[in-house]
Amino acid sequence: MPLPKQMLAIEIDNGVLKPTKRAMPTPSANQVLIKVAAAGVNRPDVMQRQGLYPPPPGASDIPGLEVAGTIQALGDNVSHLHEGDRVCALVTGGGYAEYCLASAALCLPILEGLSFTQAAALPETFFTVWSNVFDRAHFQPGETLLVHGGSSGIGTTAIQLAKAFNAKIIVTASSKAKCEFCLQLGADAAINYQEQDFVEEIKRLTDNQGVAIILDMIGGDYFPRNLKCMADDGRLVQIAIQNGSKTELNLLPVMLKRLTITGSTLRARDDAFKAAIAKQLLEKVWPLLASGSIKPVIHSTFALTDAAKAHQLMESSQHIGKIILTV
């Protein structure tokens, strides 16, 4: 059946998400064209809509960083995938649409028993957590991990992945209900930062030893407080800056405790870097998904044309886990 010449997509028009018609994209040599069944909503999409996070050069201006669906067309160099394959993919943009281009190297199979909606919740958070906790922070089994925003898509993924590899996990969250959910998901301790000082709680929970790794999406005034929570040879990985990019740094604890401060963004990295993560996920994480020992946490779904409502929910921070658009 021939592909249509146009597709429905959601574009950003002066900070507002609006349905539009776009020409059908054509895959380059190393790409595939995916008929999108579901697409994940992520905070970088909100930032892009707000004008704070422009797409990297060459990326689609349509928001959306992860999709799940069926392959409809293949680039000339793609041999390991086939038309009709059910895949989820990490993309640099274009997810909020009926069809989306993806690098063939960044497509992962949708396991039996997983729906398109569940599969669309995987790429962005699983690539991010694996790259930052396991690769960049060099997590070792038995270490203690502090995750800020434990009930977010990143947080719920980090809890499950780290737990599967024998971490002790402490999270922060903004309500009693979110803390309880994180504990049920596998966190060893949950701190309600609206009612408790997380620095003092970390000291209490670790007998003043501190944590080995911190995964932080907050930045700003959290930074000096994070330093107080870190154990000797601790690693802080900054992956977002919801409280701002500027802070005050006291170098003395960095020196005395031999701390490592690092961070990353994933979207602008090249396909070769992301493909290496995809390979690790396929080998080490997909078997955990297949066994059911970990699974994506989905809060709610919206129709593609209701993307603006999905963004409102994201900005309210009332959700636990992922928000998904269905096509």
Task: Specify burial of residue 100 (Cβ count, 10 A radius: 0-12, 13-18, 19+).
Answer: buried
Among 66, 69, 116, 58, residue whose Cα is nearest residue 91: 66
**What's the first-to-final CA gap in the chain, in angstroms?**
19
Average pLDDT of adjacent 10-residue blocks, the chain of 327 residues: 93 97 98 98 97 94 98 97 98 98 98 97 98 98 98 98 98 98 98 97 98 97 97 98 94 97 96 98 98 97 98 96 97
User: What is the model's pLDDT at position 10?
Assistant: 98
Among 284, 261, 270, residue whose Cα is nearest residue 213: 261
Answer for the pair 301, 117: CB distance below 8 angstroms, yes or no: yes
* CA separation for the pair 34, 263 (Å, rounded): 31
Length of the chain as a residue count? 327
Among 146, 229, 222, residue whose Cα is nearest residue 187: 146
* CA separation for the pair 246, 96 (Å, rounded): 32
User: What is the model's pLDDT at position 4?
Assistant: 95
* CA separation for the pair 290, 287 (Å, rounded): 5
User: What is the model's pLDDT at position 2?
Assistant: 86
Q: Residue 202 CB: number of other CB atoms within 10 A?
A: 26
Beta partners for 189?
A: 170
User: What is the model's pLDDT at position 138?
Assistant: 98
